[in-house]
């Protein structure tokens, strides 16, 4: 598992450097105090200085070990450091410097066994810098030199000196390797979580896109498409009587112009994602339903509106008002185009926890369970659009009809807050 950039590596590197120099300085001072004026003293001092310089310039401790890379952070994570891969040349150079440090240290231990304890920071440096197998070999070499140096300092055989350094080295290595494996598992878990979050965000974006497409489809169907259909029917009616009844033809043309004007207002508010034009004029949902009924009423269809509470505007959320008005528009458009009805009734009832809207007509009806749940038999967008609107609000749509018996469309929307 590649290692990402570790921000704590600099702190650990500083601790290892400090520990190494403390042990190196202590060993040098001990040698100078116990062996003053010996011929090997200049060599000990020179090798100590060389070891110090090599360690300063030695292997990097910032996580640039084998296979490590500085990976690009998550798109929504704060960027604190540019990501870049660890170069192979840099890794090789780091390992060679570590080999040089260990070689100089081994010479020092042969000349002065008191330098053996410098192996402790070298052990951790090797574990962080080398591959696992090479690091274990290095740990074994360091342990052998430490045991030999301690037995030489003691001047006699001591089982504790023979067994304690290998035990400590094995324990330190096991703890370090276990910590590395736990860190690798945590990195893998974090990667999985980030990938899952990205996939979830992508799924939410797709779902939002589909929902917006559905909303646009319903808005276009309930406003522009229905308005254009009404205009077409009015203009066709005007064309049929143009030569025989000019006044009636002019009335149809004026009605088409009125529908076009209303449709234009709807289109403008639709572009700006505002409320339906009838609701924006004031008077609330009852007034909007009456305005809708007036537009839909004509020579062949009369639409009546009944509202509970004496016709006052019920206290409904804006989303519920808009949805109920759009449903009434869609239902009356179906009545006008397909039902062949003479009268239609729109009834709005608001209970403590539910808003009910019923649209009933005396047309020829249809079979709701037929192959196309639409009076036209071939156009089925109106009812699915109504159901989709209600589903977004947690509501339901019920259609009761039979051939020759008219149709009743009932919409029920639950209210979160009682009136």
Query: In this structure, are residues 76 and 50 in contact, taking their beta carbons and an 8 Å threshold?
Result: no
Residue 114 CB contacts under 8 Å (≥ 6 apart), including other chains = 27, 30, 31, 149, 153
Is 318 among the domain residues? yes
Is 201 among the domain residues? no
Residue 291 to residues 296, 346, 362: CA-CA distances in angstroms?
9, 12, 21
Host domain of residue 108: 9-157
| Eight-class DSSP state of 113 | G
Domain termination residue (choose one: 103, 126, 157)? 157
CATH number at residue 349: 3.30.565.10
Is 129 among the domain residues? yes
Domain termination residue (choose one: 157, 184, 219)? 157
Cα 188 to chain centroid, rounded: 18
Is 388 among the domain residues? yes
Is 208 among the domain residues? no
Is 197 among the domain residues? no
> Pairing mode, if any, of strands 302-307 and 343-350?
parallel
Q: Specify the number of domains making up the chain.
A: 2
* Distance spanning both ends of the chain, measured CA to CA: 60
Q: What is the pTM of this model?
A: 0.43
Domain termination residue (choose one: 125, 157, 189)? 157
Is 230 among the domain residues? no
DSSP track, 288-318: HHHHHHHHH-SSS-EEEEEETGGG------H
**Rounded distance between C-alpha atoms, residue 6 and residue 9, angstroms:** 5
**Rounded distance between C-alpha atoms, residue 77 and residue 55, angstroms:** 35
**Rounded distance between C-alpha atoms, residue 13 and residue 264, angstroms:** 71
Classify residue 88 by burial, with Cβ atoms within 10 Å: 0-12, 13-18, 19+.
Answer: exposed
**Rounded distance between C-alpha atoms, residue 296 and residue 298, angstroms:** 7
Residue 316 CB contacts under 8 Å (≥ 6 apart), including other chains = 285, 324, 350, 355, 415
**pLDDT score recorded for residue 419:** 44
- What is the mean pLDDT for each group of 10 consecutive residues in the chain (419 residues)? 54 77 85 82 87 73 41 42 54 79 86 84 82 86 86 81 83 84 88 89 79 70 73 83 85 82 71 64 82 83 83 73 87 84 90 89 83 45 80 89 89 74
Is 213 among the domain residues? no
**Rounded distance between C-alpha atoms, residue 258 and residue 261, angstroms:** 5
Residue 330 CB contacts under 8 Å (≥ 6 apart), including other chains = 221, 222, 226, 382, 383, 385, 386
Query: In this structure, are residues 346 and 315 in contact, taking their beta carbons and an 8 Å threshold?
Result: no
């Amino acid at each position: 598992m590649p290692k990402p950039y570790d921000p704590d590596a600099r702190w650990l590197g500083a601790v290892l450097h400090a520990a190494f120099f403390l042990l190196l300085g202590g060993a040098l001072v001990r040698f100078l105090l116990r062996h003053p004026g010996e011929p090997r003293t200049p060599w000990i001092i020179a090798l100590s200085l060389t070891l110090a310089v090599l360690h300063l310039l030695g292997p990097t401790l910032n996580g640039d070990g084998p296979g490590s890379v500085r990976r690009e952070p998550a798109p929504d994570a704060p960027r604190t450091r540019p990501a870049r891969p660890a170069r192979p040349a840099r890794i090789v150079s780091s390992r060679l410097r570590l080999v040089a440090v260990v070689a100089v240290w081994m010479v020092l231990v042969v000349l002065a066994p008191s330098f053996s304890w410098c192996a402790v920071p070298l052990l951790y440096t090797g574990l962080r810098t080398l591959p696992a197998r090479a690091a274990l070999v290095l740990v074994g070499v360091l342990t052998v030199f430490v045991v030999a140096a301690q037995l030489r300092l003691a001047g006699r055989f001591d089982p504790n000196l023979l067994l304690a350094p290998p035990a400590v080295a094995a324990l330190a290595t096991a703890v370090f390797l276990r910590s590395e494996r736990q860190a690798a598992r945590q990195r893998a878990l974090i990667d999985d979580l980030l990938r899952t979050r990205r996939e979830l965000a992508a799924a939410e974006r797709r779902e939002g896109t589909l929902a917006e497409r559905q909303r646009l489809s319903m808005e276009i169907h309930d406003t522009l498409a229905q308005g254009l259909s009404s205009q077409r029917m009015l203009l066709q009616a005007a064309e049929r009587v143009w030569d025989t009844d000019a006044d009636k033809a002019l009335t149809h043309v004026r009605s088409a112009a009125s529908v076009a004007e209303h449709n234009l207002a709807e289109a403008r508010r639709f572009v700006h994602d505002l409320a339906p034009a009838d609701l924006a004029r004031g008077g609330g949902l009852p007034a909007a339903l009456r305005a809708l009924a007036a537009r839909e009423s004509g020579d062949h269809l009369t639409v009546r509106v009944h509202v509970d509470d004496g016709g006052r505007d019920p206290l409904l959320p804006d989303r519920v008002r808009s949805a109920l008005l759009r449903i009434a528009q869609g239902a009356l458009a179906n009545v006008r185009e397909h039902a062949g009805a003479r009268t239609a009734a729109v009834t709005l009832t608001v209970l403590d926890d539910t808003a009910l809207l019923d649209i009933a007509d005396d047309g020829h009806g249809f079979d709701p369970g037929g192959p196309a749940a639409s009076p036209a038999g071939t156009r089925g967008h109106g009812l699915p659009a109504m159901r989709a609107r209600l589903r977004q609000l947690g509501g339901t749509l019920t259609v009761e009809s039979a051939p020759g018996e008219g149709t009743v469309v009932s919409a029920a929307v639950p209210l979160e807050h009682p009136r």
